[in-house]
Structure 1
Amino acid sequence: MPHLPDFEAWAIFAKVAERGSFSQAADELGLAKTTVSKSISRLETKMRTTLIHRTTRKLSLTESGRLSLDRALRILADGAAIEADILEEAAVPRGQLRVASTTGFGLEALAPALPEFMEAYPEIELELCLTEDRVDLIADGWDLAIQIGGNIDSSLRISRLFSLRRPLVAAPSFLQRHGVPGHPSELAEYRVIIPTHVPWSSNWEFTHNITGEVAHVHVGGGLRVNNAAAMLPALKAGLGITLMPEFFVWEEIEAGALSLVLADWTVPPGPICVVTPPGRARPARVRVFLEFLREHFSSQPWARGVER
């Protein structure tokens, strides 16, 4: 296998030739003079030729040194340009931002916020993918993903946005026909719209807000759906009772199209998290997007007062 070129030594050679001095090159590069001298010697040994004539009064390039100088200068310039571009990209919000989100949250909560973000940061090009599958951030090249619930790869960087409430709701017409349950255990006898895309789909856990009593119930029903948005029409039509993410139903609750049921009981909230690839530094485009999401969701009616 061929050896990797000694890019560092070629860049140092270019700087020495440019300045005509080992000392000046060392000062400009922030290196010891001995390091600069050893790098040139290492390069000459590898090339089996002399690149620089050294005298007590001045330095001069050999023919081999002159032939290699242009390309060495390009190595130095390209390296400096790469670092400058990355440092600028890390500080200034620009470039492509690839975001993945669950479908329901993406449609109802995230997508409506994007025009405001894009207007604030016109140099960011945003790609949004809505999927119920867990994306591989590193293999698929995503900058971040928004996930609901736990079971997140601990090797990733995790930032919690807020905890999502899931109230128990039903249409007034459903409650008129079937009655209002007084305890979670009674839900086993009710027709339930079951969300199959969550781990707890048929096994619900409630905690009483005052007494702390915990109740577990296994529910069943005539409709099973793997997307919360698709549950809403059947819910409003009075076909069942169910737990729904609050961002889907808060307007219907305020308008009276849906009613809160067992309001003194709550189910464990689902954490909404942003996950990013491992690493200390997040690019500016990711940092500002994360800050924007925190500020935006903190002002939403369905997220106010929710534990962060």
Structure 2
Amino acid sequence: MPTLNALRCFTATVEAGGFSAAGRNLGVAPSSVSRQISALEDSVGAQLLLRTTRKLSLTEAGRLYHQRVAHILADLDEATTAVSDLERAPRGVLHVNAPIAFGTRHIVPATPAFLARFPEVRIELTLTDNFVDLLEVGADVAVRVGELEDSSLIARRLAANRRILCASPDYLAGAGTPDRSSDLIAHNCLVYTRHQGSVDWNLEGPDGPKEVRVTGSLRTNNTEALHAAALGGLGIVLLPSWLVGHEVQSGRLVQILGHYRASPSALDTSIYALYPANRHLSSKVRAFVDFLVERFSPAPYWEEAPG
């Protein structure tokens, strides 16, 4: 049976191109590497390397054997690292990427509790609303809101992404509170849009799905601007509960048409933690994702009823 040492000597020789270079990489004498490979060839009953005075090359059997052995050694190294990682406390720099609004409201406030639990971790947080490739920017984990593109990333669901209708008490006192979706037509509706043209709010309620053509004095592609305008009493908004939940709970905003919900769309999927699909997950990433799941699931705090 081939020994693990012989297998490592063989792959090191193939990758380095010779016994001397392999010996330097492994920290052993070239003659020791040569003996290990000769013993390996005797063990498998086939010549793996063609030796000349000028170079080494793989035989057909050697090429097949190297492909299989390289995968086996990689799996073994990953398994060893994974088990060792389980035994180590999370430590080091954790690179996190998140959308600006969600990150400011929910990731930043969560970091003190996480760092108190794992004091050997430091967080480098990048907030951006632009799509970024985790591998290109070197992020360990990203938080994403809404529909996910197909990718090789692992996605772990943190919470639902639900939009609600709300307005300030002052606005409702002056303009009245709508009772049906059709009443929105007569109200000043502040809309989130990235495109020019008309805006429809698709709602589902007791009278079935409704498409309401809304108009208002403010259109913007920034949810923070809509949030501020609603707090200022300008009109009605349709925004994620994670953005307006605190104000609804405190009474600064009032949820309206609670028996209606926004029809499912790309904006109404879920909130996810994403991380690269490594064969094993580092302890700091695992700890952070588990912490977010614990904090936001099964029902996030921003969905709690006003009290």
Give TM-score scaled by structure 2 length.
0.71
Q: 2:28 aligns to what?
A: 14
Give 1:142's aligned amino acid: A
Q: 2:212 aligns to what?
A: 217
1:169-213 deviation line (CA, Å, top 9, x unaligned): 0111111221211222322332112123699x93322112xx471
Paired residue secondary structure (1:302)? helix
Shift in alpha-carbon separation, 1:83–1:170, aligned structure 2, 3 A: closer
Q: Is the 8 A contact 1:165 1:245 kept in 2?
A: yes
Q: Is the 8 A contact 2:78 2:279 kept in 1?
A: no
Give 1:112's aligned amino acid: P
Instruction: Report deviation, 1:270.
Output: 3.5
Q: 2:112 aligns to what?
A: 115
Paired residue secondary structure (2:122)? strand
Q: 1:159 aligns to what?
A: 156
Shift in alpha-carbon separation, 1:21–1:167, aligned structure 2, 3 A: same
1:71-220 mapped onto 2 (5 Å cutoff): 87=82, 90-91=85-86, 92=88, 93-196=90-193, 202-208=199-205, 211=206, 213-220=208-215
**Structure 2 unaligned spans of 5+:** 1-13, 57-73
Instruction: Report deviation, 1:33.
Output: 5.8
Shift in alpha-carbon separation, 1:223–1:301, aligned structure 2, 3 A: same
1:248-263 mapped onto 2 (5 Å cutoff): 248-263=243-258
1:34 maps to which of 43, 58, 62: 43
**Percent pairwise identity:** 32
Paired residue secondary structure (2:114)? helix
1:90-149 deviation line (CA, Å, top 9, x unaligned): 433223221111111000111100111122222223211111111111222222211111
Give 1:147's aligned amino acid: R
Shift in alpha-carbon separation, 1:259–1:277, aligned structure 2, 3 A: same
Shift in alpha-carbon separation, 1:172–1:286, aligned structure 2, 3 A: same
Instruction: Report deviation, 1:221.
Output: 1.7
Q: Is the 8 A contact 1:103 1:131 kept in 2?
A: yes
1:1-47 deviation line (CA, Å, top 9, x unaligned): xx952379546893896799859x97xxxx786369967xx486465
Cα distance in 2, alignment partners of residues 102 and 245 from structure 1: 13
Instruction: Report deviation, 1:293.
Output: 0.3
1:247-300 deviation line (CA, Å, top 9, x unaligned): 232232233221111011111344101222234322222111110000011274
1:237 maps to which of 220, 232, 239: 232
Cα distance in 1, alignment partners of residues 228 and 304 from structure 2: 26
**Structure 1 unaligned spans of 5+:** 50-78
For the aligned residue pairs, the C-alpha RMSD in angstroms reads 3.8
1:211-246 deviation line (CA, Å, top 9, x unaligned): 471111122222223332332232122101001222
Shift in alpha-carbon separation, 1:48–1:175, aligned structure 2, 3 A: closer
Paired residue secondary structure (2:155)? strand
Cα distance in 2, alignment partners of residues 100 and 221 from structure 1: 34
Cα distance in 1, alignment partners of residues 236 and 304 from structure 2: 24
